Amino acid sequence: CFFHSFAAAGFIVRCAMGREFRLMNGDSVPGEGLEDPALTVPAARQIIAEQLKLQARQVVLFETGLLSDTDALPDGLIQIYIQEIKVSMEEFLAKARKKPADCSELLRLNVMANLSALPTDVGEWFPALTHLFLTNNHISHCPESIGSLQKLTEFDFDGNQLADLPESFQQLTALQQLKLDRNQFQEIPEGILCLENLKELSMCSNQLSKLPGLGQLTAL
């Protein structure tokens, strides 16, 4: 399955009637119209979805219990739970390519689909991506386009079949956390040694036979 999610900034909205919509992590969500006394549950879900750049069906509202579409929207604190949508990699990319504006705003991408390969252009569609999780797939090759993800700060490739990284990997200069556990590496790829902002590197359970000097990784 393929999971994706979007990071949202936290803002506080206290409506005229004392209503506040809050994510499970404690962040509150703004939105024009949320203060409307006549607001319905479906309308609130739609407004919140637009603010978080999600689909309305992903937004679930709770007060003392689950709020259904026919319930009256109460005052006070309303909790927001975000459901992940499960789709195939092919289906997601097909939809994403139809809406490049949405792709350009995606911040977090989590793929768990038993993939054997990534699309060659996957790095070109998500220029704002900061977190990429490709854990427990069967990926043996990372495309050159991955170097386009120059805002990436966390990359988790744990549990795949990689033995090397593309030359373009050295362009990921914002990268701070890199997890390559349980792959097929016999040495640390040279591209990693160029990542001056890297603070965490994990390569457990590989086949490393030698280690290069890591002195240039001053943030590690």
How far apart CA 135 and CA 115 sit, in angstroms, is 10
Query: Per-residue confidence at 12, pLDDT binned at 50, 70, 90?
Result: very low
Per-residue pLDDT at 125 exceeds 80: yes
Per-residue pLDDT at 130 exceeds 90: yes
Please name the residue that has the structure tokens 């977090």. Answer: 108
How far apart CA 2 and CA 116 sit, in angstroms, is 14
Per-residue pLDDT at 71 exceeds 60: yes
Residue 153 in contact with residue 131, Cβ under 8 Å?
yes
Phi first, then psi, for residue 82 (nearest 5°) are -105, 120
> What pLDDT shows up at residue 162?
94
How far apart CA 165 and CA 208 sit, in angstroms, is 15
How far apart CA 55 and CA 166 sit, in angstroms, is 35
Output 37 or 7, whichever has higher pLDDT. Answer: 37
How far apart CA 95 and CA 79 sit, in angstroms, is 29
Per-residue pLDDT at 32 exceeds 80: yes
Whether this prediction's pTM lies above 0.75 is answered by no
Per-residue pLDDT at 6 exceeds 60: no
Quick: pLDDT tens for 165-185: 999 999 999 999 999 999 999
How far apart CA 103 and CA 213 sit, in angstroms, is 38
- Bridge partners (DSSP) listed for residue 155: 132, 178
> What pLDDT shows up at residue 3?
38
Other Cβ atoms less than 10 A from the Cβ of 182: the count is 18
Give, as one character, the DSSP assignment of residue 171.
Answer: G
> What pLDDT shows up at residue 213?
66
> What pLDDT shows up at residue 10?
37
Residue 201: helix, strand or coil by DSSP? strand
